[in-house]
Amino acid sequence: MTNLQMSVSGGSENTQYIISASYFTQNGMIQNSSYDRFNVRTAITSTLSSLLKFGTNINLAYNKTRQVGSSGDGFGAGNPGPSVVRYALFRTPTTPVYDKTGNYVDLPDHPEFFGDGLNPVGLAANTNRNFYNYSVLGDAFVEISPVKNLKIRSDIGTNLLLTEYKQFFPTWGSPVRLQNSPNSLAQSFANNFNYNWTNTATYNWVIGKHSLNLLAGSEAIYSDTRQLSASGKTFVNQMPPFQYLDNATGLPSPPGSNESHWALFSLFSRIAYQYNDKYLASFNFRRDGSSRLDPATVMVTFFPDRPAGGSIGAFMRHVKPISLLKLRASLGQLGNQEIGNYAYTSTIGSGGYYPFGGVSAPGYTIVSKGNPGVKWETSTEADAGLDIGFFNNALLVTVDYYHKKTTNMLLSIPEPAAQAARGALPKMRERS
């Protein structure tokens, strides 16, 4: 294992910076298993004047994972393959790893007594499963203060993640039982990009015992995912320089690809008031639009940033045992859009078959049924509380009442197979 780290930082009263890098590598306990990671980070913050401040933060990262099967018999989605550890435990000490010619011993002479599991050494040596990740995470902001107590800030952040999967399945084993015949190669690529752009203006006003904080802003979020996969089989030469799809001589399998994206745009504001550090109230207002829901619907929410309330102990001075008396109350709504992309419309894809002239012909069919009326899931919450302290707060009592009601719950209900749609229909329910 190797772990190296370095960093350089410095600056002045108005500007600060840091540059750091790290490298980590570790081999697994099983052959052909390892992990490598390398990343570089830079950040700078500078105050040019009392009116202007800006900063950036960028992180570049790369990692590679070589993976071997370590659980179960290799079946199931996402399973890395037959477990080397499992077959090593099943292998009896009387069964050699190699025969006299140097080839792997697959089946023992009497598999009915010694088991028919794979040769664990041969399985590990012939596993070539690789994952690559490349990422760019960045953020930049600028902040201006045009007048006293007013700050205007714009902040944009991006995240780009490129992932690659590549696995070669070589032919190996004994003539009695060959593995991966014919040999094959599988590859896939994914591109995930998203950004978040937030603009805010805040104003703080303090006079005497009164304090007022105002905030208004907007936020735009966008996410896009693209995927591509392909495979090939029958490679005449199994050496690494030839493990590319162009060298496959067997009939190619159809490649696969897809793309999905979603976006969210919000307008929000907050008002917070405080008097003499005893009485306070704050309110949040939002207006959100989501591409995941019916384009004609928007979500308008309000909710206190913290419960409105205050200490009313001053009115209970004549009751000596009571040292604290505080009331709290809140009421508001929150929205939820988490139902997946394109829930408001039906999607079409391949996989259907239709009879033409007595012959089954491939075609397109409905993959998932949409609900044109799908809209924001809304949770209305109410909370009221009372805090009482007795004998200089030696005894504290808290009483709370809380009620939450959720309407238009976003659920995916599986449809009967007779309706000829493979997906689930988005439904809306109510719960309290």
pLDDT of residue 269: 93
Q: How far is CA 179 from CA 50, 113, 118, in A?
A: 71, 22, 9
Encode the chain in three state secondary structure.
CEEEEEEEEEECCCEEEEEEEEEEEEECCCCCCEEEEEEEEEEEEEECCCCEEEEEEEEEEEEEEEECCCCCCCCCCCCCCCCHHHHHHHCCCCCCCECCCCCECCCCCCHHHHCCCCCHHHHHHCCEEEEEEEEEEEEEEEEECCCCCEEEEEEEEEEEEEEEEEEEECCEEECCEEECCCCEEEEEEEEEEEEEEEEEEEEEEEECCEEEEEEEEEEEEEEEEEEEEEEEECECCCCHHHCCHHHECCCCCCCEEEEEEEEEEEEEEEEEEEECCCEEEEEEEEEEEECCCCCCCCEEEEECCCCEEEECHHHHCCCCCEEEEEEEEEEEEEEECCCCCCCCCCEEEEEEEEEECCEEEEEEEEEECCCCCCCCEEEEEEEEEEEEEECCCCEEEEEEEEEEEEEEEEEEEECCHHHCCCCEEEEEEEEC
pLDDT of residue 312: 53
Please return the burial class of 253, using the count of CB atoms within 10 Å of its CB with bins 0-12, 13-18 and 19+: middle
Q: How far is CA 259 from CA 225, 228, 264, 341, 342, in A?
A: 6, 9, 18, 11, 12
Structure-block tokens of residue 418: 């007779």
Measured CA to CA, the distance from residue 131 to residue 123 in angstroms comes to 19
pLDDT of residue 305: 46
pLDDT in tens, the chain (432 residues): 899 999 999 989 899 999 999 999 999 988 999 999 999 999 999 998 888 999 999 999 999 999 988 766 655 555 667 788 888 888 888 788 888 888 888 777 676 666 667 888 988 999 999 999 999 999 999 999 999 999 999 999 999 999 999 999 999 887 778 888 899 999 999 999 999 999 999 999 998 889 999 999 999 999 999 999 999 999 999 999 999 999 999 887 888 999 999 999 999 999 988 888 778 888 888 888 888 888 777 666 655 444 555 555 555 556 678 777 888 888 888 888 888 888 888 888 887 888 888 888 888 888 888 888 888 888 888 889 888 888 888 899 999 999 999 988 888 777 666 555 555 555 555 555
Beta bridge partners, 9, equal 18
Length reported for the chain: 432
pLDDT of residue 91: 82
pLDDT of residue 388: 87
pLDDT of residue 163: 97
Measured CA to CA, the distance from residue 33 to residue 56 in angstroms comes to 37
pLDDT of residue 286: 86
